[in-house]
Amino acid sequence: MKIELNKNKVFFDNGSTKKEIHPFWLRERVDSEEFLDKGTQQRLFDPTFLDSNISIKKANINNNFLEIDFNDGINSKLNIEKLTLEFLNKDTILQTFNKKKWDSNLKNIKNFEFNNDFSESKEMYQLLTSFYEYGFVVIKNVPTNDNFIVKFANSIGSVRRTNFGEHFNVKSKTDPNDLAYTSLQLAPHTDNPYRNPVPCIQLLHCIENEVSGGYSTLVDGFTVTENLKKENPDFYKILTEVKVRFKFTDKEVVLEDWSELIHLDDNRNFKQVRFSPRLDYVPVLEKEKLDLYYKARKKLSELYNSKKYRIEFKLEPKDLLMMDNYRLLHGRTSYEASEGNRFLQGCYIDYDSTEGKLRHLKRKFNF
Ligand SMILES: [Fe+2]
């Protein structure tokens, strides 16, 4: 990729095509001291106030800099390497991670060990990398005193508070407003599909686990839905098209949001799964379409619930499980509450936390 000049026009050549760069695009990137605050990297001018007929009077390439005199009297010196990074037109950090598909054969997941300097360490960078590859990580030895989960979450980013509070306690109780607060088995599900936006990442911290059951279960929604796409394309298609209503209601709030069970991005690639069959309501569609939808949802549920895709493990006290609520489904096996205490604490954070931290650590360690 390189920049070329021809008669006061600037071109971008990516090796196969050559395109002219709009003069205004260059003008709004003027970054000398009076136009860009060095500390915040924020503009000191508003480009929407500029004359839209910006043109180039003179352009020159000098070493690694593109020197331009614009017709509004501004002279600039733009770093060519910085400009060409922008031509990639994507997030250059997150795009470098590839999701690794996994199923019940997944072995040797790397655990991380908590320490007091964890949040600014290279291990945190590796942890976040692993999180983006597999959709979850387990951190051992995280202190359990004074709702430490909240401190931990805030050391990565910011807790996403919900009507369940800043954090929530998962233990069986009488008169629960969610089945999580019983000792029943919980089938694979995603959390809070009725929120807008759905919390991105769930942290679950084991405080006590004295019972013989109560294993945590995880399923990779990415693997399952990619396999469904190959094996049952009609099922996949309808599940990516029909928006259903998810609803939560208790004495204080009624939450509701609509989404496909498999939500794709603008390029029709995987973005998010929502699955919580106790809470979803499909609209009244034509009978044939609903017929296909119900078959597809049943198949998807069979896959999510099959042993082929599920991993099971027991969280020990001080273990903290961090999982991607847009990619993974989670659940637990049943347990006998009379055997002893089982007490987990949970909270949510959003992707801006982990992504921001990852970019920061990458910058800090020059990876
Ligand atoms: Fe859950």
pLDDT tens per residue, range 157-173: 999 999 989 999 988 76
Q: Which residue in the block uniquely carries the two structure tokens 């990729």? A: 1
Average pLDDT over residues 43-59: 95
β-pairing, 342-349 vs 201-209, is: antiparallel
pLDDT per residue over 60-92, tens digit each?
999 999 999 999 999 999 999 889 888 876 666
Nearest to 221 by CA among 326, 293, 313: 326
Tell me if residue 310 falls in helix, strand or coil.
strand
**Tokens read off for 64:** 């690694």
Of 17-21, 33-37, 103-107, 174-178, least confident by mean pLDDT is 174-178
The Å distance, Cα 355 to ligand 1 centre, comes to 23
* Spacing of C-alpha 192 from chain mean position: 15
> Is the pLDDT at 139 greater than 70, yes or no?
yes
Distance between Cα 188 and ligand 1 center (Å): 8
State the distance from the centre of ligand 1 to the C-alpha of 304, rounded, in angstroms.
14
* Whether residue 40 has pLDDT greater than 90: yes
pLDDT given at position 290: 98
Does residue 178 have a pLDDT over 80? no
- If you average pLDDT over residues 260-280, what whole number do you get? 95
Q: Residue 187 Cα, ligand 1 centroid: separation in angstroms?
A: 9
The per-residue pLDDT for range 284-300, each reduced to its tens digit, is: 999 999 999 999 999 99
Measured in degrees and rounded to the nearest 5, phi and psi for residue 175 equal: 55, 55
| pTM of the shown model | 0.89
Spatial distance between the Cα atoms of 177 and 199, rounded to a whole number of angstroms? 19
Q: How far is CA 72 from CA 62, 75, 93, 240, in A?
A: 22, 9, 35, 50
